[in-house]
Structures are given as C-alpha cells and as structure tokens.
Structure 1
Amino acid sequence: MKFGKQMETASFDLPENWRPHLIHYKILKKSIRLIVDELEQRGLSSEWLNTLDTEEAMRLDYIFDGDAKDPHPYIRITIEDPAVITTDDKPAVLKKLIPITQKLTTEPLSIKIELVRDSEFFHLLLHELSHAAALHEKEKERFGGDVDKLEGQLTIAASPQKKDFQQQLEWFTAELSRMSMTKRLSSKSSKMALTQFLAINAQLVHFKHFQALNQTAMRKILKKHDKRSGLRL
C-alpha cells in the first residue's frame, strides 16, 4: 500500500478534529508533478540536472531567497566557459539565455532561473506545518490543564488519611494497565483520578501517533521532491 493511502487509513485512528491538521501528502505529491512539468518545459529535466554533478564546465546551485516563512527557491547555473554552450546536448534554455557574444567569451557566466512551482510547493508545505503546529499548541495547553486537574484529584486521593494511598499504592502502580482495577478502589476520588490518568495517557499515545504520521509525511515528501525534480535540498 502506498504511503498516501496508509496515511489516510491511519488517520481514522485519530480524533476526528485532528485529521484536518495532518499534512496533506497527496496534495503535496501533485504539487511535485507541477515542479517537474515546469522544469521540463524549460528544458531542465531531472536527468540532465543530475549530470551537472560530473559536468566540469557547469555548476548548479539550488538556493533559497527570502526567509523561513517566505522562501523563494531558484537555480543558479554557473558556466565557467560560455563558449562550450554550442552543442545540441545542452538545454535550450541555456542557449536562449546566453547571447552569442557571451558564448564566444571565456569569462564565467551565472544564470538565475526562478522556480515558480517549487516556491508554491514550499509555501504549501509551510502552511501545512503551521496548521499542524497550531493544533500542537492547542493540545499542549489542553493537556496541561488536564494534568493540573489530575494533580488536584491525586492530592485528595493520596491524602495520608485515605486507605487507597496507604494500602494500595504499590498495587495501583503494578496494575495500572488493567481497566478493571477501578472496581478495586474504594474511594470515588481514587477512581476519578485513575480514570483521568488513563485518559491522559491514551490521548498522549494518539497525539504521538499524529506527530509520527506528520514526520513521516514530511520526510517522504521531501525525499520525493528531490528524486522527481532533481533539485537536492
């Protein structure tokens, strides 16, 4: 099963209000196809871009202008000897960008190629990440409130005057994973504290799963970006 489908299936194990905050992997994948189309339309196929690693006469740099919130990626191709751009195996975009007079010189030449679709991809990815981060902050605050509430409940349940604390603390710890143990606690406050504790742990497990899905989606989509486009982050 492909990862996009796996992520979609796994999302049903999460609370419904969390699902919109997962990275939309399939949408980003489609965005990569647009990047590839734009590059190929300019004569910059991923196969040719990969050959620049061994090309002595040219060098490609993949650069980002702007900042972390507003990135603008572009390609800078440095040609040590413009005169070599005369053969048919060179991309048409280079021939169009380099005047004949410059081809005949031996001075190094630098060409900047803006990447519109690539910029759209990273703006979309950043939007997805900020959406997930907003949920993280919201849930962090909620978890903090739940823990404070549990602390208050434990203060009551664990009072030295309470039988549950004095006689059953060791049992409580050892049998924590068994839901039926609530019937063995004598006080209402102890049962409430246990129920709240288990609920918080279940929520944390779910949220860890949510974060793992987003982290995997992030890693895979960037790997796919590099592989499909030939642009290496």
Structure 2
Amino acid sequence: MKFAKQLETESESIPSEWRPYLIQYKKLKKLIAKVADEIEKHGMSVSMLHDCLDNPSSVDQVGVDSPQVQYYFTGEALNIRPCIRFTYDTSNNKVMALLSDLIDEQGDAPLLTRTAPRSPLEYQRSQDNTDFFTLINNPAPTTETPTTNDQDEHYFAAQPSPRRNSTAQVIRDLTELTLHKDEDGKRGQVRSLVVELEQDDEFFYMLMTELQSAVRLQHKASDRFEADINALEKQMVQVASPNQKSDMYAWRQIFSLYMDAQIFQGKLEADRSMHSVQKAREQMIWFTHQVQQENLVSKMKNRVSKSTLQQFMALNTELITMKHYQVLNQTAMTKILKKHDKRSGLTASTSFPDFVGSNDFFTPKLGKLLCAAIIEKLTTIIPQPDDYSCPVCMNVAWRPIRLICGHVFCVRCLIKAQKKNMMSCPMCRHPTAVQTASALNLDEPMQNFLLMYFPKEIKQKKRDNEREQAIEDVEAFTGRAYSPEQIARMSRDNNHNCIIM
C-alpha cells in the first residue's frame, strides 16, 4: 500500500480535530517535483549530486578532481534556507572544467571567453578575504550584501523573488566575475559558491509550518491530559477511600491488572522501552477484557466509581491516540524527506532533522511523562498488598516488627525465627537483628495503616496465625509433630497450600 493511502487510512482513527495537523504528505510530494526541476534548471544533475553528497570529499582537501559539495541549512524556525555550496580550487584545471560544464548553458564556448548579457551583479569591495557584490534589479538598482563565512570566500545568489533574474543566471555571472578576477593574478585560491534553492525553500517552509502546528497541538493536548489526570486523581481519592471498602478492593484489583498489562512500557529489565502503538492497543484490549472477565464494574457500589472507571479507560485510550498521532507525523516526515532526497539528489533526510532538532518535535519523553503521571498519581492512590508483605510468608506483615536494620517482618515469622535460634536478618544478614527484636520494635504507624487499607487480608492473617498457634499447642501437648502435608489437610481452606511453590 502506498504510504499516502496508508496515512489517509490510519488518520481515520485520529480525532477529527487533530487531522488538519497531520503532515500534508500529498502536498509536499507535489513540491518535490518542483525542487527537482529547479535543480535541473541550475545545471545540476541529480546523479551528480548523489555522487558528490553521498561520498563527500574531506573539507581539508583542496585540488580534487571534482568540487566539494555540501547541502546545508541556514536561518531558524520558519526562515530556514536550504543551500548548496560548491568549494573548489581555481588552480585545478580539471575542477574548473567540471565547474564550467556545471554552470555553462551557452553551448561549447569556453567559460572565460563567452559573451553574456549585462550581469545583475556589480562588484563593490573586498574585505577580510571576502568579495561583496550588489544585485542590480530592473529597472531600479538595489544593493544586497551577501552572507559571509570567516574561512572561505562565499558568493551568494540573490534571495528568491519573482521580479529578479533566475538564480542560475546569477550564479553564472557571479562565477564569471570571480574567474576574471583570478586572471589578474589571484588564481589558485579556494573559493566557495553558494546556491539558494527557491523551490526547496518553499518545500521546507511548508514542512516547518506543519511541524510547528503539530507541536502546538501536542502541547495543548498534553496540558489538557495533565489537567484530566489531576481531576481524575481527586475523584479516585474519594471513591477508593477506605470508607468505601467494597470500591477500594475493586479499584485495587483494577490497578493490579493495569500494572500487569504494561500498556505503555514494560516493567521488566529486558523490556524497559516504550511499546509501539500496536502493542499498546493489544495490551489495552487485554486489560479491558480482564476487567470485564472479573466482573469488577458490578462490584462497585458507588455510581461515581463506575463513571470514574470510564474516564480512566478513556484517558489511556487518548494517550494511545496521541502516541499514534505522533508516530504518523514522524513517519510522514521521514518518508517525505527520503522521497525528497531520491528525486533531488540532496541529503535532507540526514541534514534537516539535525538542523531543526527533530527530537523536539517527536520527543518520546512526552509519552513517558504522561505515562509516568498515570502510574504515579493514580495507581498509587490505593496501596497494593505486595508492597507491604512479609518477605518470609509473603502475606501482609500484620503486627509489623521493624528490625534495627530497617527490614519489616510479621510477628509470626519473627517468633518462628527466634525459636529456631536465627540471629541474623534474612534480608541483609545483620548479625543480631533477629536476636535483639522484641515487642518494642512494633511499628505502630504501619500497623494502623495496614488496618485501614487491608482489613480483609489482616482478618485472614489472624485466622492463619490462630490455626498455626493451635497446631503448635497440640504438638506441645501430645508430643507429636505434624508434617506440612498434614497441616495443609487440617487447614479450613483446602486450597491454602504454599503460596510460593
């Protein structure tokens, strides 16, 4: 499928108010033909530019068989100007012959002996190894000082204007003047001749205009997105508070599934990069399906919770759409610059992104920041049990005992460790952390926090502790030790096996 058709098809998934800000690929493609025609009119062939620009000579080399050619940009923002600079040594006959073939459009007559119409350029002065010329307009003459370079003598063609002579004519006459100047005893100098491309200027003006419009839209959308996140955060604090226990557990399960979905970015060390649009959509579909399969919406008793969930889903969908919009524009720019290079022989696909800093237009940081905002502001509203679990039994660390090393364990696991004469911390191996632990190490603020956010888990933990204590009492009374399999059979929940294995 042609990219223009592909762009048109994929743009249908973009909101209608965003579509005018997509790069107009077809219009830019039409301008490329004008750029190619302009280069031919300047006497430069596409194949010659391909050879010179794809395999450029070293800037320090002088006297090569062909002039050194450089395609570059000047200016800034919407006033950038694409230019081609030819640097050559006037003492090298081969170079001068090639340059004569490049710019001579008056037949086989030698460049220095042919007669030409009155030149639109008039020599003014020389200063600091730079020659200045004025451009003579018809009917009234005007002057224009060319841009200079501190290292080489640059001869710039006139700025684009429909009332002026063609750039090709200006370049021919300017080169003839410099060659006649060499006849006075100044041959053997390295000179630079700069061509400003009028149609290429129009092409990049249109491209830069569309890029800046796209950036303004992205910033506007991201500001609105951040405002929506802040508003949604306030709603979730209310609907998922511990006072609404049924909704709190539903939201906790939703956020657990959301983190497992890894919609925008992987959380494993081997998958830290941002996901593609297709991958993000697939993970979003998986997350939505899991929410429906667990029947979490029906578990919500608060109507505001249901509407908040819809807003949360819409927020993630909008972020995927924003990412898709950015990818479409970035792909369109890459494709159009490659087509520009193929038709014109220039190297815009490498020089233009470096000049304008394309990362400022298509920075992946925007998506990362918005994704991080969702995770940090929304998913952290409701604490997850895994963040407050005992590292030994992997259940909620009820009656949390904070050792002198800072690690926290549930009181039940700590008592077992002391009965087995364990002295060091299982986590950091502090030599006396377990041995010196006592009731004074109880973390009361954390205990109150666990009571508020994990009432069901604590209730189950208490039952498990009571059952284990009862088994220990029976073993102490009868002198009989029960195997782990027997303890598992005595459990009220037959499925309550080892949660690790």
Q: Same fold (TM over 0.5)?
A: yes
Q: CA deviation at 1:103?
A: 7.7
Q: CA deviation at 1:101?
A: 3.4
Cα contact 1:60–1:77 (8 A) shared by 2: yes
Query: Would you say how many aligned residue pairs link Structure 1 and Structure 2?
Result: 233
Q: In the alignment, does 2:83 pair up with 1:74?
A: yes
Output the CA distance in 1 between the equivalents of 2:48 and 2:100: 10
Superposed, 1:24-35 pairs within 5 Å as 24-35=24-35
Counterpart for residue 177 of structure 1: 288
Counterpart for residue 101 of structure 1: 180
Counterpart for residue 231 of structure 1: 346
Output the CA distance in 1 between the equivalents of 2:90 and 2:21: 50
One of 197, 209, 218 as aligned partner of 2:312: 197
Name stretches of at least 5 consecutive residues in structure 1 with no aligned partner: none
Output the CA distance in 1 between the equivalents of 2:245 and 2:209: 53
Counterpart for residue 39 of structure 1: 39
More helix by share: 1
Superposed, 1:118-129 pairs within 5 Å as 118-129=200-211
One of 183, 186, 198 as aligned partner of 2:301: 186
Cα contact 2:69–2:84 (8 A) shared by 1: yes
| Letter in structure 2 aligned against 1:68 | A
Identical-pair percentage: 37
Counterpart for residue 222 of structure 1: 337
When the two structures are superposed, what TM-score results if normalisation uses the length of structure 1?
0.89
Q: In the alignment, does 2:228 pair up with 1:117?
A: no
Superposed, 1:139-154 pairs within 5 Å as 139-154=221-236
| Letter in structure 2 aligned against 1:36 | A
Cα contact 1:57–1:80 (8 A) shared by 2: no
Cα contact 1:153–1:192 (8 A) shared by 2: no
Q: 1:21 to 1:87 in 2, by over 3 A?
A: closer
Output the CA distance in 1 between the equivalents of 2:215 and 2:9: 22
One of 188, 195, 206 as aligned partner of 2:321: 206
RMSD of the TM alignment (CA)?
Answer: 2.4
Q: CA deviation at 1:168?
A: 2.6
Q: In the alignment, does 2:13 pair up with 1:9?
A: no
SS of aligned partner of 2:297 = helix
SS of aligned partner of 1:130 = helix
Cα offsets for 1:167-225 (capped at 9, x unmatched): 33443233852364423322112112111100101111111111110011111112222
Name stretches of at least 5 consecutive residues in structure 2 with no aligned partner: 58-63, 106-110, 112-171, 259-286, 352-501
One of 226, 232, 237 as aligned partner of 1:155: 237
Cα contact 1:157–1:164 (8 A) shared by 2: no
When the two structures are superposed, what TM-score results if normalisation uses the length of structure 2?
0.43
Counterpart for residue 92 of structure 1: 103
Q: CA deviation at 1:110?
A: 2.0
Q: CA deviation at 1:89?
A: 8.4
> Larger RCO: Structure 1 or Structure 2 (Cα < 8 Å, ≥ 6 residues apart)?
1
Cα contact 1:158–1:165 (8 A) shared by 2: yes
Cα contact 1:36–1:45 (8 A) shared by 2: no
Q: CA deviation at 1:165?
A: 4.0
Q: 1:134 to 1:88 in 2, by over 3 A?
A: closer
When structure 1 is superposed on structure 2, of 108-117 and 55-64 the one drifting more is 55-64
Cα contact 1:21–1:135 (8 A) shared by 2: yes
When structure 1 is superposed on structure 2, of 77-86 and 62-71 the one drifting more is 77-86
Counterpart for residue 60 of structure 1: 69
